[in-house]
Amino acid sequence: MSKPLVSVITPAYNHGRYIGQSIQSLLAQTYPNWELVVVDDGSTDHTADVVQSFGDPRIRYCYQENRGVRELAATINAGLRQTSGELVTMLPSDDTWPNYRLEKQVPVFQDRNVVLCFGRQFLIDENHNILGEVRPRVDKREIENRPVGSVLHRMFLENFIPQPTVLIRRETLDQIGGYLQPAGLLAEDYPTQMALALLGEFRYLDLPLANYRMHRAQM
């Protein structure tokens, strides 16, 4: 597992203004063994044109009729079914990554006990200006889920894991049935991470691993 394939899934809806920057940040990664599937959830802007303008064979585009935020997990899982990597992550269509992200996270999974790795994230505005930073402020051993399942005590109190920084072992993600989103919940990260907490340890890297963009059209 020295250079495992990382599957990157990008659900997109009318983010033509930002998705090019997202993909550029993936292309800039110092870790090259990745594949990207963009699942366009019925965009009516130029999202498709931007994605298809990249000539990299690692990038694939697929279109579906709009399902919306209430079915976000289903959209992500549609992309997941088209991938084959040992590790899986999401790249939101309006966010970006520092170029070292995958290079820093992939080696963590040499430890077979680890099912999920995450880190800090910056908050940015429409023009990529930094607005702030998100980092967990709890005991490192607790948030690394040792022993397995112990992190749930903290997770019931708060969702402290920045989703854009999360990298997951594919084997365990498949074990829970892919990304999870109970009816009525507008996010898939929280329930998915809680289910994974029952299957293995987490690892926290004290590094900024994503830039989460704040803007009016982010949902």
Work out the widest C-alpha separation in the chain, in whole angstroms: 47
User: Integer distance in angstroms from the first to the last C-alpha of the chain?
Assistant: 35
Per-residue pLDDT, 215 = 57
What number of H helices and E strands is found in the chain?
Answer: 8, 8
Per-residue pLDDT, 112 = 96
Handedness of CA 137, 140, 144, 148 (dihedral sign): negative
pLDDT confidence band for 128 (50 / 70 / 90) = confident
User: What is the pTM for the complete model shown?
Assistant: 0.92
The CA-based angle 25-78-185, given to 5 degrees, is 90
Residue indicated by tokens 């079915």: 71
Per-residue pLDDT, 25 = 97
Residues 149-184 pLDDT 10s: 999 998 998 888 999 999 999 999 999 999 999 988
Q: Which phi and psi (to 5°) does residue 150 adopt?
A: -70, -25
| Radius of gyration from C-alpha coordinates of the chain | 16
Residues 70-117 pLDDT 10s: 888 999 999 999 999 999 999 998 899 999 999 999 999 999 999 999
Per-residue pLDDT, 1 = 55
| Structure tokens that stand for 37 in this block | 């599937």
Q: What is the mean pLDDT of the chain?
A: 91
H/E element holding 124?
strand 114-124
Question: What is the pLDDT averaged over residues 181-205?
Answer: 92
Per-residue pLDDT, 206 = 92
Per-residue pLDDT, 218 = 59
pLDDT at 13 over 60: yes
